[in-house]
Amino acid sequence: MQLGALISNVRNLAILYTGVLIIAVCVVGSFLYISYQGNTYTETQAALKADIHGFIDVYHFSENPEAALRKAVEQRLKSRDISSFYLLSDKNGNRITGNLHTVPSVTENQDGDFNLYEIPYSEVIGNAPEQTDAFFPHYDVIAKTLTLGDGMSLLVGRDVDAFQTLNMAIMGVAWIATALVCLMALIGFLMGAMILKRMRLIHQTADTVIKTGKLSARIPAEHTTGDFKPLANTFNNMLERIEDLVAGIRQVSDNIAHDLRTPLTRLSHHIEALKKGESDVSIDDIADEANRIIATFNALLRIANIEHGKRRSAFGNVDLKALLNDLYEYYTLLAQKKNITLNIALPMVLPPIVGDKDLLFQAFSNMTENAMKFTPKDGQITIQALNKDEKIHIVLTDTGSGIPDEDKTQVFRRFYRVEDSRHTPGNGLGLALVKAVIDLHKAQISLEDHTPSGLSVTVVFSNIANP
**Domain-located, residue 202:** no
Return the higher-pLDDT residue of 282 and 271. Answer: 271
Residue 293 lies in a domain: yes
% of residues, the chain, pLDDT over 70: 76
User: Both 152 and 257 in a single domain?
Assistant: no
Residue whose C-alpha is closest to residue 386's, from 344, 350, 355, 352: 350
Residue span of the structural domain in which 9 resides: 3-168
Q: Are residues 368 and 284 in the same domain?
A: no
Q: Of 38-47, 247-256, 273-282, 387-396, which one has max mean pLDDT?
A: 387-396
Residue type, 162: A
Residues 6+ apart with CB under 8 A from 296: 259, 260, 427, 429
Q: What pLDDT, on the 0 to 100 scale, is given for residue 303?
A: 67
Q: What is the pLDDT of residue 341?
A: 93
| pTM flag (> 0.75) | no
Task: Establish if 179 belongs to a structural domain.
Answer: no
Q: Are 224 and 198 in contact (CB under 8 A)?
A: yes
Which of 13-17, 169-173, 207-211 is the least confident region? 13-17
Do residues 379 and 425 share a domain?
A: yes
For residues 270 and 416, state if they share a domain: no
Residue 413 has pLDDT above 70, yes or no: yes
Same domain, 106 and 18: yes
Residue 133 pLDDT greater than 60, yes or no: no
**What pLDDT shows up at residue 65?**
84
Amino acid 98: pLDDT: 87
> For residues 451 and 322, which has the higher predicted lDDT (pLDDT)?
322
Residue ending a domain, choose from 307, 331, 346: 307
pLDDT at position 131: 47
Same domain, 236 and 337: no
Question: Is 328 within a domain?
Answer: yes
Which residue, 307, 339, 357, sits at the end of a domain? 307
Residue-level pLDDT at 3: 47
Return the closest-CA partner of residue 215 out of 195, 239, 199: 239
pLDDT digits (tens, 9 = 90+) for 230-263: 777 787 888 888 877 777 666 666 666 656 666 7
Query: Which of 417, 398, 411, 427 is closest to 338 using CA atoms?
Result: 398
Angle at 11 between CA 182 and CA 211, to 5 degrees: 150
Best mean pLDDT range from 28-42, 199-213, 294-308, 446-460: 446-460
Is 244 part of any domain? yes
Q: 285: domain CATH number?
A: 1.10.287
Q: How far apart are CA 417 and CA 305, in angstroms?
A: 22
Q: Are residues 32 and 145 in the same domain?
A: yes
pLDDT tens digits for range 275-327: 777 666 677 777 777 777 777 777 666 666 676 655 666 788 999 999 999 99
**Which CATH number fits the domain that encloses residue 87?**
3.30.450
CB-count exposure of residue 154 (10 Å: 0-12, 13-18, 19+)? buried
pLDDT at 390: 85
Are residues 318 and 455 both part of a single domain?
yes
pLDDT, residue 253, reads 64
- Identify whether 187 is part of a domain: no
Angle 163-169-175 (CA atoms, 0-180°, nearest 5)? 140
Clarify whether residues 349 and 412 are in a common domain: yes
Q: Are residues 235 and 291 in the same domain?
A: yes
| Short-list 187, 199, 189, CA closest to 223 | 199
Confidence at 1, pLDDT banded by 50, 70, 90: very low
Return d(Cα 71, Cα 77) in angstroms, integer: 10
For the chain, helix, strand, coil in percent to 5 are 55, 15, 25
Residue 186 pLDDT exceeds 90: no
Residue in 371, 320, 372, 318 with CA at minimum distance from that of residue 346: 320
The per-residue pLDDT for 258 is 59
Exposure string over 320-346, b if 16+ CB within 10 A, otherwise e? bbebbeebbeebeeebeeeebebeeeb
Mean pLDDT of the chain: 78
Structure-model confidence comparison of residues 157 and 229, the more confident one: 157
CB 148 within 8 A of CB 74: no
pLDDT of 419 higher than 60: no
| Contact call for residues 88 and 73 (beta carbons, < 8 A) | yes
List the CATH number of the domain containing 357.
3.30.565.10
Is residue 352 assigned to a domain? yes
Domain boundary among 129, 151, 168: 168
State pLDDT tens for residues 313-362. 678 899 999 999 999 999 999 899 999 999 999 998 889 999 888 889 98
Rounded distance, CA 136 to CA 100, Å? 18
Average pLDDT over residues 183-202: 74
Query: Of 21-30, 56-65, 313-322, 327-336, where does the model show the most confidence?
Result: 327-336
If DSSP codes are grouped into helix, strand and coil, which group holds residue 2? coil
Indicate whether 139 and 47 sit together in one domain. yes
Q: How confident is the model at residue 166 (pLDDT cuts 50, 70, 90)?
A: low
Sheet bearing 444-449, strands edge to edge = 341-345, 380-388, 391-398, 455-461, 444-449
* Helix, strand, or coil (residue 19): helix
* Domain assignment of residue 117, yes or no: yes
Please state the rounded mean pLDDT for residues 45-69: 86
Is the backbone peptide bond immediately before 376 cis, with ω within 30 degrees of 0? no
State the distance between the two ends of the chain, measured CA to CA, in whole angstroms: 52
Using the predicted structure, report yes or no on whether residue 76 has a pLDDT greater than 80.
Answer: yes
Predicted local confidence at residue 392, as pLDDT? 93
Q: Determine the average pLDDT of the residues in 449-457.
A: 88
SS3 string, 23-89, reads HHHHHHHHHHHHHHHHHHHHHHHHHHHHHHHHHHHHHHCCCCHHHHHHHHHHHHHHHCCCCEEEEEE
Total structural domains in the chain?
Answer: 3
Crossing angle of the two packed helices 228-276 and 283-307, in degrees rounded to 10: 170
Determine which of 70-84, 322-336, 414-428 has the lowest per-residue pLDDT on average: 414-428
Query: Do 115 and 68 lie in a common domain?
Result: yes
